[in-house]
Structure 1
Amino acid sequence: MNIRFIGLNYPGFSYSKSYAGQDFGNVERQLFSDQLIDELGISGKIVFMGHSRGCENTLQTAVERKAHGLVLINPFGLRRHRGISPEYKLRYVTKIYDLLPKTIADLLIYKIYRSMKFHIHCPEECISALRSVNDVMLEKQLEFIEKLNSLENTRILISYAGRDQFIESKIMEECLEKYENLEALKFQNDPDIDQICDVF
C-alpha cells in the first residue's frame, strides 16, 4: 500500500535507555521527536499517531507540521482521569522510588505496574512512564486543538474505549467537544470498519 510506518520510542521506554538529567517533560519529548523527524528527512503525506500519554506530543507535532492526518488513541483529555489521579500520590511514589535502593525500587515499581495490568517490559519503563505522566499538559492542549481546528486539510481520527480501565467517557466527551467537525461513531462491540471508512 506504499505506507511506511516509523515507531518512535522515547529514551527510558524499554527499547532505549534513559539518560542523566532526563526530565520526561513535554518540551524535552517534543525536541526529541522534532529532531528525529528532521534527521530522517521525512516528507510527503504524514499521519501522526499517538497513544495515551503520547497523544499530547502527537497533537502538537501534527499542528506544527500541518500534518495530512492525526490519529489519537485513548488520549488523556483536558483534565486528570482516574489513571493519573490524584497527582500528589504519583509524585509521592516517584520520590519513594528515588529514595530506595535501586533493586528494591525496581521490584516495587514493577509489581505496582503489573498489578494494574500494564503491558510493560522492565522496571525502567515503569518509572519512566510515571515520571512522564507527572508532567502532562492536559488543559494546555486546548491551544493546539484550537490551532488544529484552523487547519483545513488535516484529517482527524480520535478513538477511545470505555472498557479501558483508565478511560472516563465524560472526560473524553468534554475534550472532543473542543474539536470542530468531528463525526461521532459509537460501537458496543467490534467497530464496523466499512462505516469508519465511509467517514473518511
Structure 2
Amino acid sequence: MHRKCIYINKDNEEIHIEAVYEDSMPNGSNVGTVIGFHGAPGSNRDFKYIRETLDILEIRFIGINYPGFGITKSYENQKFTNEERQLFTNSLLDSLSIKGKIVFVAHSRGCENALISVIEKQENMNILGLVLIAPTGLRPHQAIRSKFGLVVLDTISNYLPTFARDALLIKTFEAFGLRVASGEIAHASLKTSMTLDLENLLPHIQKFNEISTKLVVFYGGKDQIIEKEIVTEYLSNFKDHATFNFDDDILDEHFQEITTAISEHKTLSVLVDQDGHYQNKSRANIIARSIQLIFK
C-alpha cells in the first residue's frame, strides 16, 4: 500500500487526508494504467483478481480507497456524497500525475464516480476507456428501492449503542449477500448507497457520448443487488452500442466477437445470464483482457 497526504476543499474548508491506495507499478507502465473505483462496501481488493491478470500483461493498476471504508480513514462531518467522493478522487489523481494511456474500471457503487471522473478529468488525462461492472443504473435498484426504509434504518442506527448499530447494519448487508468487515464500513456503505445520483447522471452520459473514450460494461442476470433490466435501461442511453448476451460460458470464439466489437463500436455490453454481482471475481480474466484490447 502507498500513502499520500492530500487535501480536499469541502465547504470552503481544507480537509487533509492520508489517502491509502494500491499501486502495482509506481514507476509506470509502457502499456498503460488502470484506475479502480470500488463499490460500497468495497476497497482496492475488489479488483484483486483483475489485477493478477493485469500484472501478467504488464499493465499498471492503481486502486482508490475512499475514506471510511476501512483503509483510508474517514474525516469529521463526512456525508458520503458523490460530491465528496469526487473531491477526494480528483485530489488523489491530480497528486499522482499519471502519464500515458489510462482506463478506468469500476464496480457497483463506484461506477457513478468512474463515469463522472471521465468527464471531469478528460482534459488533463488520456482516458481511453471506461469499464463498468454491475453499474447502478438511473433508478433505484432492489437493494435501495425503499428510500423510507433506508432513512428509518439510518435513523435507528444513529440512536443505538455502537455495538448494536454495528450488528444491525452488518446483518442488513448480509441479507443481500454483501459481506462487510466492520460496523464502520457498514455505516459508510449505507450512507454512500443513500447518496446515489441515479437519474442525475444523464448529463454525464450525454457528455460521454460526445467524447472518444470507449465503454465496456459487464453485468449479470442473477445479480442479487441490481436487476439486469435496470442496467439494460441505463445502457440504452449510450451511443453506438453493441450488445452481447451469454447464458454462462464465454468461449474463445465469443471473445473474438467482443474483440471486433471493441474496435468497431464506441460502447458495448456483455450480459451473462447466470452471473451474479461479483463479476470482478468470476469474469476477472476476460475483463482484464478487454482492458488490454482498449489499450491496443
Same fold (TM > 0.5): yes
Please name the residue that 1:90 is paired with.
Answer: 150
Question: What is the rounded CA distance, in whole Å, between the counterparts of 2:89 and 2:202 in structure 1?
Answer: 20
Of 231, 234, 254, the match for 1:172: 231
1:131 deviation in Å? 0.1
Please name the residue that 2:256 is paired with.
Answer: 194
Greater alpha carbon shift after TM alignment, 132-141 vs 159-168: 159-168
Greater alpha carbon shift after TM alignment, 107-116 vs 72-81: 107-116
Amino acid aligned to 2:248: N
RMSD: 1.3
TM-score by length of 1: 0.94
How many aligned positions are there? 199
Indicate the percent of aligned positions where both proteins have the same amino acid. 39
Greater relative contact order: 1 or 2 (C-alpha under 8 angstroms, separation 6 or more)?
A: 1
Greater alpha carbon shift after TM alignment, 163-172 vs 136-145: 163-172
Q: Deviations over 1:153-198 (max 9, x none)?
A: x111011111111222222121111000111011110333333223
Amino acid aligned to 1:80: P
Amino acid aligned to 2:207: K
Please name the residue that 2:106 is paired with.
Answer: 50
Please name the residue that 1:15 is paired with.
Answer: 71
Please name the residue that 1:41 is paired with.
Answer: 97
What is the SS of the residue equivalent to 1:47? strand
Question: What is the rounded CA distance, in whole Å, between the counterparts of 2:198 and 2:210 in structure 1?
Answer: 20
Question: What is the rounded CA distance, in whole Å, between the counterparts of 2:144 and 2:183 in structure 1?
Answer: 18
Unaligned runs of 5+ in 1: none
1:36 deviation in Å? 0.4
Question: What is the rounded CA distance, in whole Å, between the counterparts of 1:19 and 1:107 in structure 2?
Answer: 22
Q: Deviations over 1:30-51 (max 9, x none)?
A: 0001100011111221111111
What is the SS of the residue equivalent to 2:244? coil
TM-score by length of 2: 0.65
Q: Is the 8 A contact 2:65 2:72 kept in 1?
A: yes
What is the SS of the residue equivalent to 1:46? strand
Aligned counterparts, 1:1-200, within 5 A: 1-66=57-122, 67-152=127-212, 154-192=213-251, 193-200=255-262
Structure holding more strand per residue: 2
Q: Is the 8 A contact 2:177 2:224 kept in 1?
A: no
